[in-house]
């Protein structure tokens, strides 16, 4: 019998308790022994709820309990989660977490602490919710040199963009609806500004390439400037707008960015809609692989956390190797990356095309019936730097990058 | 330094050698030590090829070589592969294989042999080529009770069906073209009759549910009866025809079948085209997850084999647990499964609808312009048994099952 503790009885924490109860027998079969939740740390009490008898308010009760082998951290945020996780590892307990902020900020330090003690620090649920992606990257794609990871990593923004695309609604209206449905937070900044997706691509990039990406160095743009007009142009181009987190290895540099991109029907993530997440990976020998599923939600996320618990129980006394070290990865300068850009400028083709072509060279003009006083175009491939220089010479309304990945 | 031997220098075997050379440094990082091919078993010689110095003609040279830790079996077929793999395990060497015939026929026996000796028997490449699916099922989806696995598991037939769908070509013409391109064997029976997909769904089902499915008991139909007319009806229904291997748990029974199915645009496998494979899994807590990528090909398959080698090297002296036991799984009777059927019958709606409705009850008629002397219809949900009884009373041309799985 393996006993575990859960830090935080919120959405994911209560999901973990539910999954372990629901699938008790099959989990025991998979883990090689029964797995039981012994203690749950929460500031609150839950009178009348069967969980109440397991609730503790002091983390040290868990840390000092020699019966507890594995600690599940699902509190979110950096502190006190970071302190509690370190204490658990120091006390000889493996840790499983869904906390992407913690992993993005302190992953390699916690991995090293676990390794030094023959314990494990696992975080499958920190990226892609229930979708198995951390373990496949870590254990399945080991024969490959990864050349690209591109993902729709945030369910909230994918829901908003899908609704805007399908219903022609405005960003503000869809955000409000998403908040009412509980898909978006009252303060949606972490999602809509791309901060959440940015941490996730930083984690995936670190795992794929073996050194640490500082998420603060990943160029990050949110979806707040995407308008219904942008979607009309997108449709005309046979594209949709998706918030992508992507890192690509070009030469010996890795270039990472989180931003809205236009993608067309040949793109592997074109059909990943609503709150689903999808992650595309290209390796130098495997070629293309894609993973998709529920990127968030109580039970899918809990499923990933509990899979980590099972792995910790199976690997008691053995550290499961990762290649993620604390060595800092020097990301390539995003200004050097060449790509296509979709641009909207004020004016009309008749009056302003010459000026635009003077700045951008050959372009493909896109006009949408009913959108007046402006026109759109797609540039030839150019670097971000060259783009910014050219854009300074035109009266730009908005620009969205294009991602041209397609399945080979 | 871990030394390995490769049994068979065919497509996959030469791919394994190439992958290990190409990604030597990154594989060493992932495995924790360098990995080198010491010997290659083949009946042939390869004069002038650098591999020649590693070629041996006698498997016992490999079996008796104490330096060799891991044996890669990529010969295909049951014998002599089975004998060689047993010898390798008996000699204390872990084994990695891409051989689905061997795994479907003798998987649990070889797993038990490996476990008893603290070795590993791994077979990621036996299903889905490069797509990580065996390891995710075995190690990532461990918190779930699997309720459904549905896959496009054979690249050859998917290529043929995609071509027929997109170009309106006949089965015979596309098969010939696929043979010329090397996508189909000269004797295509294993692919087109569904035998290959059947073994793969048997392996996945055994791994997901923990006991052994005898692949010979899986109801199996190939694609040889699918005609251009069927695709025209399919298009009218907003569907495509795909060869699916699928197993579903209904109550306490698992029902498995390999057959062509009509699927519509909401189906998770609708966009898996050409030689790609895709595998959809539903678990009781994770919900839907999907994996897709190259299901075959020299380097993708070799990538999966080498990932197994890395795992064996990392787990030297430790058996990686699976739940697949030799206990026989009693599959549910496919005749009891309820589903929709698409049917083509001779005659005309005017003359024959009454007779058809007498047999089938309420139906949805489908007619295609230019296809005369017949009409199509989709039945209400009914069991296979009821369908067969009803079909005996009409003049049937063909029938294709519908799979109604959609992403939740």
Contacts for B262 with CB less than 8 Å, ≥ 6 apart:
B234, B237, B239, B240, B241, B342, B400, B401, B402, B403
CATH of the domain at B304: 3.40.50.720
Q: How far is A289 from chain B (nearest CA, A)?
A: 4
Q: What's the pTM?
A: 0.94
The reply to whether A289 and A384 lie within a common domain is no
- Note whether A75 contacts B: Cβ–Cβ < 8 A: no
The reply to whether B93 and B186 lie within a common domain is no
Residues of A in contact with B316 (CB under 8 A): none
How far apart are alpha carbons A94 and A178 in whole angstroms? 36
Residues of A in contact with B70 (CB under 8 A): none
How far apart are alpha carbons B10 and A310 in whole angstroms? 38
Say if A195 falls within a structural domain: yes
Which range of residues forms the domain containing residue B286? 136-294
Choose one of B294, B324, B355: the last residue of a domain.
B294
How far apart are alpha carbons B60 and A132 in whole angstroms? 40
How far apart are alpha carbons B378 and B370 in whole angstroms? 19
Which stretches within B33-126 are classed as H helix?
59-63, 81-90, 100-116
Say if B329 falls within a structural domain: no
Residues of chain A with pLDDT below 70 are: 408
B86-138 pLDDT tens trace: 999 999 999 999 999 999 999 999 999 999 999 999 999 999 999 999 999 99
Choose one of B251, B285, B314: the last residue of a domain.
B314
Choose one of B232, B264, B294: the last residue of a domain.
B294
A178-204 pLDDT tens trace: 999 888 889 999 999 999 999 999 999
Say if B327 falls within a structural domain: no
The reply to whether A171 and A273 lie within a common domain is yes
Q: Which helix (H) or strand (E) holds B229?
A: helix B228-236
Long-range contacts, stretch B354-362, CB < 8 angstroms, 24+ apart: B355/B393, B355/B394, B356/B394, B358/B393, B359/B390, B359/B391, B359/B393, B359/B394, B360/B390, B360/B394
Q: What is the arithmetic mean of pLDDT over B158-185?
A: 92
**Cβ–Cβ below 8 Å for B286 and A303:** yes
Say if A396 falls within a structural domain: yes
- Note whether B22 contacts A: Cβ–Cβ < 8 A: yes
B234-261 pLDDT tens trace: 999 999 999 999 999 999 999 999 999 9
CATH of the domain at A396: 3.30.70.1150
- Note whether A30 contacts B: Cβ–Cβ < 8 A: yes
Q: How many domains does chain B have?
A: 3
Q: Which of A54, A200, A248, A249 is catalytic?
A: A200
Nearest to A11 by CA among A54, A42, A34, A36: A42
Say if B361 falls within a structural domain: yes
The reply to whether A211 and A77 lie within a common domain is no
**A95 DSSP β-pair partners:** A71, A121
The reply to whether B121 and B208 lie within a common domain is no
Residue B408 has pLDDT above 70, yes or no: no
How far apart are alpha carbons A35 and B72 in whole angstroms? 35
User: Strand (E) positions, B11-67?
Assistant: 35-41, 55-56
Q: What is the arithmetic mean of pLDDT over B63-72?
A: 98
The reply to whether A162 and A266 lie within a common domain is yes
The reply to whether B151 and B265 lie within a common domain is yes
Say if A73 falls within a structural domain: yes
A81-123 pLDDT tens trace: 999 999 999 999 999 999 999 999 999 999 999 999 999 999 9
Nearest to A277 by CA among A137, A162, A122: A162
How far apart are alpha carbons B73 and B89 in whole angstroms? 12
The reply to whether A118 and A153 lie within a common domain is no
pLDDT at B184: 87
Residue B407 has pLDDT above 80, yes or no: no
The reply to whether B94 and B200 lie within a common domain is no
How far apart are alpha carbons B43 and B76 in whole angstroms? 14
The reply to whether A140 and A282 lie within a common domain is yes
Nearest to B224 by CA among B248, B195, B267: B195
Say if A319 falls within a structural domain: no
- Note whether A131 contacts B: Cβ–Cβ < 8 A: yes
**Cβ–Cβ below 8 Å for A288 and B293:** yes
- Note whether A303 contacts B: Cβ–Cβ < 8 A: yes
Strand-strand pairing, A396-402 and A382-383: unpaired
Compute CA A371 distance to the chain's CA centroid, rounded to the nearest angstrom.
Answer: 34
How far apart are alpha carbons B97 and B78 in whole angstroms? 12
pLDDT at A144: 96
B200 is catalytic: yes
The reply to whether B141 and B277 lie within a common domain is yes
pLDDT at B321: 84
CATH of the domain at A278: 3.30.360.10
**Cβ–Cβ below 8 Å for A23 and B136:** no
DSSP secondary structure code for residue B270 in this structure = T
Strand-strand pairing, A276-283 and A146-152: antiparallel
pLDDT at A141: 95
Q: Which helix (H) or strand (E) holds B264?
A: strand B253-264
Chain B's closest residue to A32, CA to CA, is B321
The token pair at B297 is 């090909």
The reply to whether B14 and B118 lie within a common domain is yes
Say if B188 falls within a structural domain: yes
pLDDT at A324: 93
Q: Would you tell me the crossing angle of helices A384-391 and A349-360 to the nearest 10 degrees? A: 140
């Amino acid at each position: 019998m393996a006993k575990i503790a859960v830090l935080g009885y919120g959405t994911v924490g209560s999901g973990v308790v539910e999954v372990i109860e629901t699938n008790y027998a099959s989990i025991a079969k998979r883990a090689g022994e029964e797995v039981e939740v012994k203690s749950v740390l929460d500031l609150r009490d839950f009178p009348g709820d069967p969980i109440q008898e397991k609730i503790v308010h002091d983390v040290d009760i868990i840390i000092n309990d020699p019966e507890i082998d594995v600690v599940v951290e699902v509190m979110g945020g950096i502190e006190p989660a970071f302190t509690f996780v370190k204490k658990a590892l120091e006390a000889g307990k493996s840790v499983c977490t869904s906390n992407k902020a913690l992993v993005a900020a302190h992953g390699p330090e916690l991995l090293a602490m676990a390794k030094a003690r023959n314990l494990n620090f696992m975080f499958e649920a920190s990226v892609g919710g229930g979708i198995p992606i951390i373990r496949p990257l870590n254990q399945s794609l080991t024969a490959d040199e990864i050349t690209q990871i591109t993902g729709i990593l945030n369910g909230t923004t994918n829901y908003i963009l899908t609704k805007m695309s399908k219903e022609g609604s405005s960003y503000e209206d869809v955000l409000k609806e998403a908040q009412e449905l509980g898909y978006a937070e009252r303060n949606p900044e972490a999602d809509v500004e791309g901060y959440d997706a940015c941490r996730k691509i930083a984690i995936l990039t670190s795992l794929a390439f073996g050194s640490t990406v500082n998420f603060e160095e990943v160029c990050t743009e949110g979806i707040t400037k995407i308008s219904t007009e942008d979607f009309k142009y997108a449709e005309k181009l046979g594209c949709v707008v998706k918030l992508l987190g992507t890192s690509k290895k070009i030469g010996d540099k890795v270039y990472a960015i989180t931003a809205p991109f236009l993608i067309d029907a040949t793109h592997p993530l074109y059909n990943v809609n609503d709150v689903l997440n999808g992650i595309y990976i290209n390796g130098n020998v495997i070629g293309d692989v894609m993973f998709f599923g529920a990127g968030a939600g109580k039970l899918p996320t809990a499923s990933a956390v509990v899979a980590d618990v099972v792995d910790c129980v199976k690997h008691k006394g053995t550290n499961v190797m990762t290649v993620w070290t604390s060595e800092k990865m020097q990301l390539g300068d995003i200004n050097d990356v060449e790509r296509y850009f979709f641009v909207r400028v004020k004016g009309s083709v008749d009056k302003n095309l010459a000026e635009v072509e003077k700045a951008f060279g050959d372009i493909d003009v896109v006009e949408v019936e009913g959108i007046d006083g402006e026109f759109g175009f797609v540039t030839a491939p150019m670097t971000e730097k060259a783009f910014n220089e050219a854009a300074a010479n035109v009266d730009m309304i908005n620009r969205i990058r294009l991602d041209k990945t397609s399945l080979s």
